Amino acid sequence: MKHLLKLGDLSKEEIVKILDLADKLKYEKRNGIEHHLLKGKTLGMIFQKSSTRTRVSFEVGMFDLGGSALFLSPRDLQIGRGEVVQDTARVLSRFLDGIMIRTFEQKEVEDFASYGDIPIINGLTDYCHPCQVLADLMTIRERKGTLEGLKLCFVGDGNNMANSLIVGGIKMGMEVSIACPKGYEPDSDIMKWASENGKFTCTPDVVEAASGADVLYTDVWASMGQEEEFEERAKIFKNYQINSKLMKSANECAMVLHCLPAHRGEEITGDVIEQHSDEIFEEAENRLHAQKAVMVLLMAD
Ligand code: CP
Ligand code: NVA
């Protein structure tokens, strides 16, 4: 593993290795055991979009690992004034030991990886959110004891989260169902791959998708960059909500996950968030442990 650009690049064994190390680092942190595996290393973090969890967890993660993290805003970088990725990537490669990028186009992350010569980590693009799904898989495995054979149902927009959940879930032997309105399906190549490699369905029928699910997952109706479409999307997505009625279609002990930020009363009701807050906030915490594992595997000597 040289970079983390998308989950499709990882084998099942590599995902298991990340999850196992994440569990170990979590245990050690909880028990006050220091693990300065990235002593003296520096991670650059480029954010073209807002972030709470990703920014704070990468920064704290580098601190925990004995290294440091630099927050690089495109407002301040020359990249915001048109310096090309080819040059930025090669310059930053000479100062840093790794770069995490959150941006719009997947191509920008892939370009950084091809022009630079240090590990690149995708901190979210319009196409996928691999770091989030590693933390999600960690949370499910931690609570259910396994991933294989569980049914994961995603309700809502076929966006970056849906794309990564499909790939991560199918690679780990889960059944994945997506409930989304027509015209808002996940990436067609990812759906084709999922159908050929596992148990996968995509339907506009939310009850059918949630039926017998072990994990229900949702995300905002309008992602970052789609704010202007919000009113239109609110009408189209109004039935794509995790609420107590939909919970009855899932397994009795189904988990609920949300990558956050959540919009209560839209994709999920406030009562469901509160009933499942242990799971949802453990999931948020696990971003830290899962990302630390990724950084160690990519950046340690
Ligand atoms: N889930 C997630 O990536 O959160 P942030 O946008 O706050 O980083
Ligand atoms: N789909 C959301 C995920 C946020 C973590 C977005 O891209 O805004």
Which residues, judged by CB distance below 6 Å to any ligand atom, belong to the binding site of ligand 2? 124, 159-161, 219-220, 223-224, 259
Q: Which listed ligand is nearest to 100 at the C-alpha?
A: 1
Give me the mean pLDDT over the 262-283 stretch: 98
Digit-coded pLDDT (tens) for 126-177: 999 999 999 999 999 999 999 999 999 999 999 999 999 999 999 999 999 9
From 124, 134, 157, 164, give the residue whose CB has the most ligand 2 atoms within 8 Å, as the site to mutate.
124
**Residue 187 is encoded by which pair of tokens?**
């990436």
Residue nearest to atom 7 of ligand 1 (CA): 52
The pLDDT of residue 45 is above 90: yes
The pLDDT of residue 185 is above 90: yes
Which residues, judged by CB distance below 6 Å to any ligand atom, belong to the binding site of ligand 1? 51-54, 124, 132, 259-260
Digit-coded pLDDT (tens) for 67-123: 999 999 888 899 889 999 999 999 999 999 999 999 999 999 999 999 999 999 999
d(CA 272, CA 247): 9
- b/e map of 101-116 (b: 16 or more CB within 10 Å)? bbbeebebbbbbbebb
d(CA 294, CA 188): 28
| Three-class SS state of 185 | coil
Q: How big is the chain by its Cα radius of gyration, in Å?
A: 19
Residue nearest to atom 1 of ligand 2 (CA): 223
Q: What is the pLDDT of residue 123?
A: 98
Q: Which atom of ligand 2 is nearest to the CA of 51?
A: 5
Contact 49, 225 (CB under 8 A): yes
Mean pLDDT for all residues in the chain: 97
Start-end of H helices in the chain: 12-30, 53-64, 85-95, 106-115, 130-144, 160-171, 188-197, 206-210, 230-236, 244-247, 270-275, 277-299
The pLDDT of residue 268 is above 90: yes
The Å distance, Cα 184 to ligand 2 centre, comes to: 15
Q: How many CB atoms lie within 10 A of CB 142?
A: 17
Q: Which atom of ligand 2 is nearest to the CA of 224?
A: 8
The pLDDT of residue 196 is above 90: yes
Q: What is the pLDDT of residue 75?
A: 85
Q: What is the pLDDT of residue 74?
A: 84
Contact 295, 69 (CB under 8 A): no
* pLDDT tier at 52, thresholds 50, 70, 90: very high
Residue nearest to atom 6 of ligand 1 (CA): 51
Q: What is the pLDDT of residue 122?
A: 98
Q: Which listed ligand is nearest to 160 at the C-alpha?
A: 2
The Å distance, Cα 225 to ligand 2 centre, comes to: 9
Q: What is the pLDDT of residue 76?
A: 86
**Catalytic residue list:** 102, 129, 132, 219, 259, 287
